[in-house]
Amino acid sequence: MRIRYVFTMCCLVLAILVFPSASYCLSHGTDAEAFAYIMEEDGSGRKLHPIQEKQKIYNEAWLQNLLRTRPDILPIADIDPVYWPMIPIGYEVSTDTGRIDNLFISHSGHVILVETKLWQNPEAKRKVVAQAIDYASSLSGWTYNELNIAAKKYLKKYETTESDLADWVEKQLGPPAGGKPAFIAKVTENLQAGRFLTVIVSDKIRAPVFKMADYLNNYPNLGIKFALIELKGYWTETDANWPLLIVPRIAINRPCPSTPPPPPPPPIGFWTALKRNAPDSYDKVRNLVDEYRKKDGIEIVVKQTLHVRFTIPQNGRKVSVFYVDKKARLGVWPKDIAGDMILQTKLASEIIRNYDEKMKKILNMPEKRIKLSRHIDEVDIHEFKSAVDEFMKRIQNAD
């Protein structure tokens, strides 16, 4: 999934940077923008003067904390109801590409990333979209357990509780549809699919950001969805900076009628991408997959990543026993198998734990690593296959 983001998004962003002359009609505001008023019943009122973007009344840290403590200031339900109601689960969340300003999750298990940039920040131009793409790319490589760990850190610091993510969502928003197992499954599905709402929040959205976000939103198959929100500040007093009136508004980019829609990016199949990215490893991957394709109970699912899935005979559930990405990296997620709760027995838990321990040794992974992967050329294939086969056999024979 992360490879899909990095390759496809980079191509789209490059296209925008190379062809910046497309005409766009921005409907978010002009110099003749209307004022806000405080009105009395008799019709008298007082005009509120907007804060100009160059006036440094507050900084991005203040804005981030505002969103953390007042998430309902963001009109998320008007963007897509599936992301609402939502609660904060992360603040300055560390990823391998940087820190996500604010992280939220909806009652239905959908993740919302928020990046804040004030107009005066030079990164409020094109770079903010590239940053958001990087963060979404990093998050698409997370498991539910990794998200849960990040949420628990946030809850411990800001909510003085060590609740699990699912328990906290239930406490704050009520029981999710289908219960906590269904919630965990939906979050896991959204992470693996890279299905997020990425929101850029600013006191004023710059035109290049409109162009890039609009371009990316033309490709719903990418999973990522961009939204732009302006938080306009108004002085309520003529002789003091505080208090402020903050008015949220979804910033809409309206293409001119004469602007043709951008052409869709050409689809790139898994095997084609693998041959291009790792030509020396192509045959080794093909032989491994073909070998498992012939085994009973095995299903090969090829999307952006190839998954070898095994059907649990006791309940018909299908789990990914290992996967291969487009750069010929072999990977397993033993903890996700456990999270699927495929078999509610101590024996099944012991089998999964044993699989996790063996794969960490075979793939030379640290003890605390949850997502395990290694390039196929660095893996003893005989040991790898033996561990996979033993795992499937033990699960098959478990009561």
Domain boundary among 222, 255, 288: 255
**242 and 275 share a domain?**
no
Q: Determine the pLDDT at residue 103.
A: 98
- Terminal CA-CA length for the chain: 34
**148 and 247 share a domain?**
yes
**185 and 113 share a domain?**
yes
Q: Determine the pLDDT at residue 254.
A: 45
- Please state, in angstroms and rounded to a whole number, the distance separating the CA atoms of residues 69 and 86: 12
Contact (CB, 8 A) for 169 and 87: yes
**176 and 58 share a domain?**
yes
In this structure, is residue 14 part of a structural domain?
A: no
Share above pLDDT 90 across residues of the chain, in percent, rounded to a whole number: 46
| Beta bridge mates, 323 | 307, 331
In this structure, is residue 223 part of a structural domain?
A: yes
What are the start-end ranges of the H helices in 268-311?
270-277, 282-293
| Residue 367: both structure tokens together | 């003890």
DSSP string, 50-63: BPPTTS-SS-HHHH
- Please state, in angstroms and rounded to a whole number, the distance separating the CA atoms of residues 385 and 389: 6
In this structure, is residue 5 part of a structural domain?
A: no
Residue (of 113, 366, 51) closest to 237 by Cα position: 51
Q: Does pTM top 0.85 for this prediction?
A: no
In this structure, is residue 10 part of a structural domain?
A: no
**75 and 149 share a domain?**
yes
Across 30-34, 77-81, 151-155, 294-298, least confident range = 30-34
In this structure, is residue 148 part of a structural domain?
A: yes
Most confident of 45-59, 273-287, 314-328: 273-287
Question: Which one has a higher pLDDT value, 355 or 11?
Answer: 355
Tally of CA atoms within 13 A in the half-sphere of 154 that contains its CB: 26
The reply to whether omega before 20 is within 30° of 0 (cis) is no
Across 3-7, 292-296, 325-329, 363-367, least confident range = 3-7
Q: What is the CATH number of the domain that holds 61?
A: 3.40.1350.10
Domain boundary among 225, 255, 285: 255
| Residue 24: both structure tokens together | 């766009």
Q: What is the mean pLDDT of the chain?
A: 82
**229 and 371 share a domain?**
no
Contact (CB, 8 A) for 144 and 122: no
**239 and 275 share a domain?**
no
Domain boundary among 230, 255, 280: 255
- Please state, in angstroms and rounded to a whole number, the distance separating the CA atoms of residues 174 and 197: 22
29 DSSP 8-state letter: -
Contact (CB, 8 A) for 108 and 86: no
| Residue 244: both structure tokens together | 């402020």
Given pLDDT bands bounded at 50, 70 and 90, which one contains residue 312?
confident
**144 and 285 share a domain?**
no
Domain that holds residue 338: 270-397
Contact (CB, 8 A) for 103 and 94: no
Residue (of 121, 105, 122, 124) closest to 113 by Cα position: 105
DSSP string, 220-245: GGG--EEEEEEEEEEESSSS-S-SEE
Per-residue pLDDT at 337 exceeds 80 = no
Please give the average per-residue pLDDT across 349-357, as a whole number.
86
Per-residue pLDDT at 343 exceeds 60 = no
In this structure, is residue 390 part of a structural domain?
A: yes
Q: Output b/e per residue, 333-368; b: 16+ Cβ within 10 A.
A: bbbbbbbbebbeeeebeebbeebbebbbebbebeee
**281 and 251 share a domain?**
no
What are the start-end ranges of the H helices in 70-178?
76-79, 127-139, 144-158, 165-173
> Could you tell me how many helices (H) and strands (E) the chain has, helices first?
14, 15
In this structure, is residue 9 part of a structural domain?
A: no
Question: Count of CB atoms within 10 A of residue 280's CB?
Answer: 8
Per-residue pLDDT at 19 exceeds 60 = no
Interval 256-267: pLDDT, tens: 444 555 666 555
Element (H, E) at 49: none
In this structure, is residue 350 part of a structural domain?
A: yes
Interval 272-281: pLDDT, tens: 889 999 999 9
**53 and 108 share a domain?**
yes
**82 and 195 share a domain?**
yes
Interval 128-154: pLDDT, tens: 888 888 898 889 889 999 999 999 999
Total structural domains in the chain? 2
**214 and 324 share a domain?**
no
Q: Output b/e per residue, 231-262; b: 16+ Cβ within 10 A.
A: bbbbbeeeeeeeebebeeeebebebeeeeeeb
